[in-house]
Chains A and B, each alone.
Chain A
Amino acid sequence: MNYFQLFQLPAQFDVDLTELGTRYLALQKQFHPDNFASASERDRMLAVQQAANINDGYHSLKQPLLRAEHLLALRGVKISAEQRSFTDTAFLIQQMELRELLGEIPHAADPDALIDDAERQIRVQKKQLLASLSAALGSNTHEHDLAAADIIRKLKFFFKLEQELEFIAQQTQD
């Protein structure tokens, strides 16, 4: 299923989210079960299926990482179910250091300062990675697509770090 086609949007990483939202609402309305109350059994089933596709598609296109994964899958680079370990040592050392920083928060004299520091580091790195992801996907060559897949893998670590930080920050405030 090509979600860009479903929403009649160009198959590219940079998506107009307002436009996506408008088309989502229009499609949802078009395939609402109420419109198929008197339709044949087959058409009703197709409408239900289409409504599910619309929801899945909206979910996938709305979030940058899922959108990038979907775009890559359409180009033949599938990474969503992979179990291969990531082995970029320099990147992983940096991740470990950020995890250690997060681990210090609960014991710190001034936890808020460490939380701010970690938040800032994660935000800066994420922004840089998202910009490189956009550039790599924009090139639309297989080589750049493989580079984009690696950037997505790195971004996943940062999204996980963000969750961890949120969890630690909440616990620290309690």
Chain B
Amino acid sequence: MAYSNKVIDHYENPRNVGAFAKDDPTVATGMVGAPACGDVMKLQIKVNDQGIIEDAKFKTYGCGSAIASSSLVTEWVKGKSLDEAAQIKNTDIAQELALPPVKIHCSILAEDAIKAAIADYKQRHGG
């Protein structure tokens, strides 16, 4: 199966790989996994006092499509409000990266990761 150029680009030059300090109160973390392929994805967001995502980082153990999906999402969420970021759909990710049907679950994982990070932020900040 051939990867699209965009997948290869994100895979070879992943954006925003890494982690923020765990004890930073402006940081929230989403952890998700896909049992079928054993992929594990961690997505972190840094939110300013206006509720805007200033920065995002990820760490993904998985195939090229999973890495590309999480890399793309960290780019997309920057500058968005939490509600705007929650609107990101896996279909948008799959379309942008031209993922084949067997790799759609990678984009679902990335959508679930950002949703989990937002939920973590809201839980930590009482709302």
Binding site for B on A (CB under 8 A): 82-83, 85-87, 89, 91-93, 95-96, 99, 152-154, 156-157, 159-161, 163-164
Partner of B36, one of A93, A96, A156: A156
- Mask for B89-114, Cβ within 8 A of A = 1, else 0? 00000000000000011001100110
Q: How far is the CA of A34 from the CA of B64 in the complex (A)?
A: 47
Chain A residues with Cβ below 8 Å from B38 are 156-157, 159-161, 163-164
Beyond A85-B112, A89-B31, A92-B31, is A160–B59 a contact (Cβ under 8 Å)?
no
Tell me the nearest residue of chain B to A155, going by C-beta: B35
Partner of A86, one of B33, B42, B59: B33
Chain A residues with Cβ below 8 Å from B40 are 92, 95-96, 99, 157
* Interface contact A95-B33, CB-CB below 8 Å: yes
Chain B residues with Cβ below 8 Å from A159 are 38
Known pairs A87-B116, A96-B31, A157-B33 / 5 extra A-B pairs, C-beta < 8 Å: A83-B105, A89-B31, A91-B33, A92-B40, A163-B38
Q: Shortest CB–CB separation between residue A133 and chain B, in angstroms?
A: 14
Q: How far is the CA of A26 from the CA of B105 in the complex (A)?
A: 41
CB proximity to A under 8 Å, residues B30-46: 31-38, 40, 42
Counting chain B residues whose Cβ lies within 8 A of the other chain, the interface size class is: 10 to 19
Chain A residues with Cβ below 8 Å from B59 are 96
**B61 CB–A CB distance under 8 Å:** yes
- Chain A binding site: helix, strand, loop or mixed by DSSP? helix
* Interface contact A93-B31, CB-CB below 8 Å: yes
Chain B residues with Cβ below 8 Å from A87 are 31-33, 112, 116
Q: How far is the CA of A95 from the CA of B59 in the complex (A)?
A: 12
What are some 8 contacts across the A-B interface (CB < 8 A)?
A: A83-B108, A86-B32, A87-B112, A95-B61, A156-B35, A157-B40, A159-B38, A160-B38
Chain A residues with Cβ below 8 Å from B37 are 160
Q: Shortest CB–CB separation between residue B87 and chain A, in angstroms?
A: 18
CB proximity to A under 8 Å, residues B18-40: 31-38, 40
The CB with the most chain B CB atoms within 10 A, among A85, A95, A161, is that of: A85
